[in-house]
Amino acid sequence: MFSLLLSTFEMMAITFLIGFVVAAVIKSIAICADSLELHHSSSSEMKAYGRFERLRMKIAEIMEVNVPLDRTEKLVRDERQDYVKGINKDVDEADEAIEDAAHGVSRGISKFNLMDFYYPRDTRLIFLKRKRAMMKKKPGSPEDENASSNENELK
């Protein structure tokens, strides 16, 4: 009788163990399903990002030809990558007086705007370069002067 009671508890323990293993399997299926769903929902964004990356690489190649080497590095670098790595020019250029300030103290108004964070300088440069190329195709247009002035600003 006692041995059967003991065996019953053992079988109970086995059942609980298997039950929780089954629950873990079900949970992992649910997690996989969720992550797959997330992946599919963002796949269009990922594709667009991929296209943008490829375009950026091509642009970088083109710019290496047209722009001097020292300037290329500066122009091609994607500032968002720097930001991810913790390099923030906005902060680096801040007043040295607040360098030793406690963590969380504001460093004042940023010189950057959202465009600086979301559209790296190289993208804007390419956009302006293309715009200029288009202007050149239409000589005598009133915008031609603006485009060249933009270019001068960038240089």
Partner 1 sequence: MENIDFFTLFQGFGTMAAGGWVLAVARVFLIALGGLLVYLGWKGVLEPMVMIPMGLGMVAINCGTLFMPGNVLGNLFLDPMLSDTDELMNMMQIDFLQPVYTLTFSNGLIACFVFMGIGTLLDVGFLLQKPFASIFLALCAELGTFLTLPIANFLGLSVGESASIATVGGADGPMVLFTSLMLAKHLFVPITVVAYLYLGLTYGGYPYLVKLLVPKKLRAIKMKNTKPVKNYDAKVKLAFAVILCGVLCFLFPVASPLFFSLFLGVAVRESGMKHIYDFVSGPLLYGSTFMLGLLLGVLCDAKLLLDPKVLKLLVLGITALLLSGIGGILGGYIMYLVKRGNYNPVIGIAAVSCVPTTAKVAQKIVSKDNPESFILGDALGANISGVITSAIITGVYITVIPYL
Residues at the interface with partner 1 (CB under 8 A): 1, 4-5, 7-8, 11-12, 14-16, 18-27, 29-30, 33-34, 37
Nearer to partner 1, 11 or 133 (CB): 11
Nearer to partner 1, 30 or 46 (CB): 30
The distance of closest approach from Cβ of residue 39 to partner 1 in the complex, given in angstroms and rounded to an integer, is 13
The distance of closest approach from Cβ of residue 16 to partner 1 in the complex, given in angstroms and rounded to an integer, is 6
Nearer to partner 1, 15 or 148 (CB): 15
79-114 burial, b at 16+ Cβ within 10 Å, e below that, comes to: beeebeeeeeeeeeebeeeeeeeeeeeeeeeeeeee
Q: State how far the Cα of 116 lies from the Cα of 79, in Å rounded to an integer.
A: 8
- Give the amino acid at 103: H
The distance of closest approach from Cβ of residue 21 to partner 1 in the complex, given in angstroms and rounded to an integer, is 8
The distance of closest approach from Cβ of residue 29 to partner 1 in the complex, given in angstroms and rounded to an integer, is 5
3, with CB counted inside 10 A (0-12, 13-18, 19+), is: exposed
Nearer to partner 1, 19 or 50 (CB): 19
Question: Contact at 8 Å (CB) between 123 and 49?
Answer: no
